[in-house]
C-alpha cells in the first residue's frame, strides 16, 4: 500500500517509510507501480523536509563555487565564477608510459599537452622532489606579476654573498640594475645573486618574497610545493612535484613579460657598477637552445630552465611546440647525469608528444 505522510514528516515517519520500501523490494514484489509509488512518496517527503538538526550548520563544498571561496584563487568583484580545473591537464596518481622509455634514470618526469589538456607521460608526478634552479621559474613569475620591470635596485652585500661554486651573474655590492635585467640574468645564467637581489629589491627581504612565492603556488593549486629560497639552493624543506611545476609554468607563461624572458636565448644587460656603466651578455644554459643537444625531430624548443644540485640531481623544465603546433610542457627531475637528463627528455617528447 502507498503510505503518505504530511509534507513535513518526522524522522520516525521517514524511517518507517524507508524500512517499508526495503521490505517491499527484498520480498520480491513484482508490482512496479507499487515500488515506483513508494519511491515517489519518498522523494516528495525529502523534497519538503525542513531539517532542524545541528548538521544543517555544516557547509559542503559546492561543485560550482569558484576556487576563491576556498582560498585557492582570488577573484575581483567583476570576475565570473570559474571551475578551478578549467583549462588544466588533470591526472590521477598512476604512472603512464614509463615502460617505453629509460625512466629509471630520473626520479620523476611528466609531459603535458597544453592544447588538448592531456597528460601524455607521467612518472611519479606527485612525488616531492628538490627543484634546484627550476625554482627560478616561480621567482621570475612573481617578479613579472608584482614588480615594475623598469625599476632599478641597488644590489646588497647579502645578494653577492654566494658560494664559490654557485651560479652567478657576478653582481657587486652597490651595483644599480633594473628588475628586467636581473630577470634575464636569473633565467638565462641562473644567477643565484640575481634571485636574492630581486627578492630584496621587491619586498625588502628574502623571507617576504618567499612567502609570496608560497602564497601564489597554493593559489595555483600547487599544494605539494614549499619554497624556502628564491634561487633553489638546497634545503630539506624546499620541494615541489612535477605536476606542481607544470601548474606553475602553465600559469607563468600566460604573463607576457615572463614568456618573453623565458623564451629568450641571449640578452645584453646594461647597469651601473662602481659609478661606471657596464654591459653583460648572457646566454641560456638550456642545451637544446645552445645546440649541444639535438632537439627531437618535429619539435621547436620555446624555452626552458635547468637546475642542478647534489640532492636534486639534474633537472629540466621545458616548453616546446610539436609540428601540430601543440604546446608541450615537459619536465624531468632528479636525473642521474646531464646526458641522461636529455636522453629521457628526448624519449618522452619523441614517444608521447608528437
C-alpha atoms less than 13 angstroms from C-alpha of 278 in its C-beta half-sphere: 17
Q: Which residue has the cell 507501480?
A: 33
Rounded-to-10 torsion of CA 58, 59, 60, 64: 170
Tell me the sheet residues that pair with 329: 112, 319
Tell me if residue 276 is catalytic: no
Annotated binding site for substrate: 305
Tell me if residue 133 is catalytic: yes
Tell me if residue 161 is catalytic: no
CA nearest neighbour of 315 among 328, 292, 330, 334: 334
What order of strands is seen across the sheet that includes strand 108-113? Answer: 118-123, 108-113, 327-335, 313-322, 299-309
Annotated binding site: 305
Strands 266-273 and 118-123: unpaired
Candidate list 67, 103, 124, 136, residue with the active-site label: 136
Cα–Cα distance between 166 and 183 in angstroms, integer?
17
Candidate list 190, 212, 320, 330, residue with the active-site label: 190
- 345's grid cell: 627528455
Q: What are phi and psi of 111, to 5 degrees?
A: -140, 135
Candidate list 103, 124, 133, 320, residue with the active-site label: 133
Catalytic residues: 133, 136, 190
Amino acid at each position: 500500500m502507498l503510505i503518505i505522510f504530511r509534507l513535513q514528516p518526522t524522522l520516525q515517519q521517514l524511517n518507517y517509510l524507508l524500512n517499508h520500501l526495503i521490505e517491499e523490494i527484498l520480498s520480491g514484489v513484482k508490482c512496479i507501480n507499487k515500488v515506483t509509488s513508494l519511491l515517489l512518496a519518498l522523494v516528495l517527503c525529502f523534497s519538503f523536509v525542513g531539517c532542524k538538526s545541528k548538521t544543517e550548520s555544516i557547509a559542503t563544498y559546492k561543485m560550482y563555487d569558484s576556487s576563491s571561496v576556498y582560498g585557492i584563487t582570488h577573484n575581483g568583484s567583476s570576475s565570473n565564477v570559474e571551475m578551478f580545473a578549467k583549462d588544466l591537464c588533470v591526472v590521477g596518481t598512476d604512472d603512464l608510459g614509463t615502460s617505453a622509455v629509460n625512466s629509471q634514470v630520473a626520479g620523476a618526469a611528466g609531459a603535458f599537452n597544453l592544447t588538448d589538456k592531456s597528460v601524455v607521460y607521467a612518472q611519479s608526478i606527485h612525488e616531492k622532489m628538490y627543484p634546484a634552479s627550476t625554482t627560478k621559474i616561480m621567482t621570475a613569475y612573481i617578479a613579472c606579476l608584482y614588480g615594475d620591470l623598469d625599476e632599478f635596485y641597488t644590489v646588497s652585500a647579502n645578494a653577492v654573498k654566494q658560494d664559490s661554486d654557485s651560479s652567478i651573474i657576478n653582481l657587486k655590492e652597490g651595483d644599480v640594475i633594473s628588475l628586467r635585467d636581473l630577470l634575464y640574468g636569473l633565467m638565462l645564467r641562473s644567477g643565484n645573486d640575481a634571485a636574492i637581489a630581486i627578492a630584496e629589491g621587491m619586498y625588502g627581504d628574502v623571507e617576504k618574497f618567499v612567502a609570496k612565492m608560497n602564497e601564489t603556488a597554493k593559489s595555483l593549486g600547487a599544494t605539494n610545493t614549499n619554497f624556502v629560497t628564491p634561487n633553489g639552493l638546497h634545503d630539506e624543506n624546499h620541494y615541489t612535484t612535477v605536476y606542481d611545476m607544470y601548474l606553475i609554468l602553465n600559469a607563468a607563461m600566460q604573463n607576457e613579460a615572463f614568456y618573453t624572458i623565458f623564451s629568450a636565448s641571449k640578452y645584453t644587460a646594461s647597469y651601473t657598477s662602481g659609478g661606471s656603466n657596464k654591459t653583460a651578455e648572457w646566454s641560456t644554459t638550456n642545451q637544446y637552445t645552445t645546440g649541444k643537444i639535438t632537439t627531437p625531430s618535429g619539435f621547436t624548443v620555446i624555452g626552458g630552465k635547468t637546475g642542478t644540485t647534489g640532492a636534486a640531481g639534474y633537472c629540466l623544465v621545458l616548453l616546446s611546440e610539436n609540428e601540430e603546433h601543440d604546446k608541450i610542457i615537459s619536465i624531468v627531475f632528479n636525473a642521474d647525469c646531464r646526458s641522461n637528463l636529455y636522453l629521457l627528455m628526448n624519449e618522452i617528447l619523441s614517444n608521447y608528444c608528437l
